[in-house]
Homo-oligomer: A and B are copies of this chain.
Amino acid sequence: MTEIVTAAMVVIGDEILSGRTKDKNIGHLADIMTAVGIDLKEVRIVPDEEAEIAAALNTVRARYTYVFTTGGIGPTHDDITADSVAKAFGVPCEYDAKAYAMLEESYARRGIEFTEARKRMARMPRGAEHIDNPVSQAPGFRIGNVHVMAGVPSIFQAMLDNVVPTLKTGTKMLSATVQCPFGEGVIGGPLADIQRRHPDTIIGSYPKYGEGRFWTELVVRARSDEALEAARAEVEAMVAGLAAASGEAS
C-alpha cells in the first residue's frame, strides 16, 4: 500500500534573502527526504522577524507531516528562532534543564566561562526535546512535528543525521532519467501523450542549454517499479523513434 509522508522546510535568515550567504541546506534536505521516502512539498525562506517565522511555521506545521527549520539558533541577539517557535506553539521559551546542564558541563570541562550569551543556546520552547549537535555546542530541538536545526551546513547535516532515524517514512518515489537529444518543442506533444497514458507517474521534462545547443532530460517518477518501468519504456521508445526519423530526414 502506498503511504505518503510529507514535509516542509523553513529557512530562517536575512543573510540568505540579502544574497550574502548562498543556501546549501535546501538541496541537502531535498536529497535526504527523497532518499528516505518523504515528499518535500514546500520550502519557505523567511527573514529574522518573529512574526514572520511564527506565521510560516503555523501554516506549514498544520499542512505537512514534518517541518524542518534551519538558522537562528546561536547565542547572539539576532538568533530568534527559539522565541519564534515558542510563539508559534503558544508556549513559553525557557532554559531547558537538560540542555543547560549539558552546556554548563561542557564549558566547565574546557575552562570557558558560561556567559549569558552561551546560556541563550539552552533556551527552548517548553516541551521541546533537544537534538544533539555533535559538531559544536548549541543543540537543536524538536517540538511537535517541527525540527529546529542550525544554519551552518556541516552542523545542519550532522543534526539531520540524528533526526532522520526518528522519522516515519513513506513509499519511496522512484525515478528514471532518459537523456534526450531533442529540445522540448520536438517532444512536447508525444511526451504529454505518454503522461496521459500513465497517470500513476509524474513525467518531468528539464531543458538543458549549453554550448549553443538545447537538449532535454526526461525524468519519470513513480512509487512502484512496474509503473516506473512501463512509462520509462515508452519515453525511451519515443526518443529512439524521433532519432530514427531525424536520421532518415538528414
On A, residues with C-beta under 8 Å from B are 11, 14-23, 26-34, 39-48, 52, 74-79, 112, 115-118, 120-121, 135-137, 152, 154-155, 173, 175, 184-189, 191-192, 195, 202-209, 214, 219, 221
A41 to B52, CA, bound (A): 10
User: Are A219 and B20 interface neighbours, CB within 8 A?
Assistant: yes
- Oligomeric state, in copies: 2
Known: A42-B46, A209-B155. A189 touches B18 (CB 8 A): no
Question: Are B43 and A47 in contact (CB-based, < 8 A)?
Answer: no
A118: nearest residue on chain B (CB-CB)?
A: B185
- Shortest distance in angstroms between A104's beta carbon and chain B's nearest beta carbon? 12
The answer on a CB contact under 8 Å between B30 and A18 is: yes
- Counting from the closest, the 8 A-B pairs by CB-CB distance are A117-B188, A19-B30, A77-B192, A19-B31, A43-B45, A76-B205, A118-B185, A22-B27
Q: Across the interface, do A115 and B188 meet the contact criterion of CB distance under 8 Å?
A: yes
A45: which B residues are within 8 A, CB to CB? Answer: 26, 42-44
Q: A20 touches which one: B11, B52, B120, B175 (CB < 8 A)?
A: B175
Q: A23 to B207, alpha carbons, bound, how many Å?
A: 14
